[in-house]
A and B are shown apart, each in its own frame.
Chain A
Amino acid sequence: MRLVKEPGSARSGFKDWYLQRLSAVVLAVLLPMPFVVLILVYAGVVDQFGLLDIVDNFVSRLLHTILITALIIHAYMGLKVMIEDYVAAIGWRVTLIGSMLVVMSGFGIWWMAIIWAWGG
Chain B
Amino acid sequence: MAEMIQLSVFRYDPEKGGKPFMQAYEVPVSGPGMKLLDALNYIKWQLDGTLTYRRSCGEGVCGSDGLNINGINGLACITPIAGLKQPIHVRPLPSMEVIRDLVVDMDHFFDQYRQIQPWLQAVTPMPEHERLQSPAQRAELDGQYECILCGCCTTACPSWWWNGDRFLGPATLLQANRWIVDSRDEAMGDRLDQLEDAFRLYRCHQIMNCMEACPKELNPTAAIDNIKRKILARKS
Contacts and interface: CB of A to CB of B under 8 A. Distances in A.
Interface string B187-209: 00000011111111111010000
B201 A13 contact: yes
A84 B194 CA distance: 20
Given A6-B115, A18-B232, A12 B107 contact: no
27 contacts: A2-B107, A2-B108, A4-B108, A4-B115, A6-B111, A8-B194, A9-B196, A9-B200, A10-B198, A11-B193, A11-B196, A12-B197, A13-B198, A13-B202, A14-B196, A14-B202, A14-B232, A16-B202, A17-B202, A18-B232, A18-B235, A81-B205, A84-B199, A85-B159, A85-B163, A85-B203, A86-B162
A89 to B, nearest CB: 13
Interface of B: 107-108, 111, 115, 159, 162-163, 193-203, 205, 228, 231-232, 235
Contacts of B228: 17
A4 B107 CA distance: 10
A16 B162 contact: no
Interface string A1-45: 110101011111110111000000000000000000000000000
Nearest to A81: B205
Interface residues of A, number: 18
4 smallest CB-CB distances across A and B, nearest first, come from A13-B198, A13-B202, A9-B197, A2-B107
Nearest to A17: B202
Contact of B162 (A2, A4, A14, A85): A85
Contacts of A14: 196, 202, 231-232, 235
A1 to B, nearest CB: 7
Name B's interface SS: helix
B212 to A, nearest CB: 20
B198 A84 contact: yes
Nearest to A10: B197
B213 to A, nearest CB: 20
B115 A12 contact: no
B169 to A, nearest CB: 14
Contact of A4 (B111, B163, B196, B232): B111
Nearest to B161: A85
Contacts of B202: 13-14, 16-17
Given A14-B196, A85-B159, 20 more contacts: A1-B107, A4-B108, A4-B111, A4-B115, A8-B194, A9-B194, A9-B200, A10-B199, A12-B198, A13-B197, A13-B198, A13-B200, A13-B201, A14-B202, A14-B232, A16-B198, A17-B202, A17-B228, A84-B199, A85-B163
Among B107, B201, B202, B228, find the residue whose CB has the most chain A CB atoms closer than 10 A: B202
Contacts of A81: 205
Residue among A2, A13, A81 facing the most chain B CB atoms (10 A cut-off): A13
A81 B162 CA distance: 12
Contacts of B111: 2, 4, 6
A44 B137 CA distance: 62
B107 A9 contact: no
B195 A9 contact: yes
Contacts of A16: 198, 202
Nearest to B231: A14
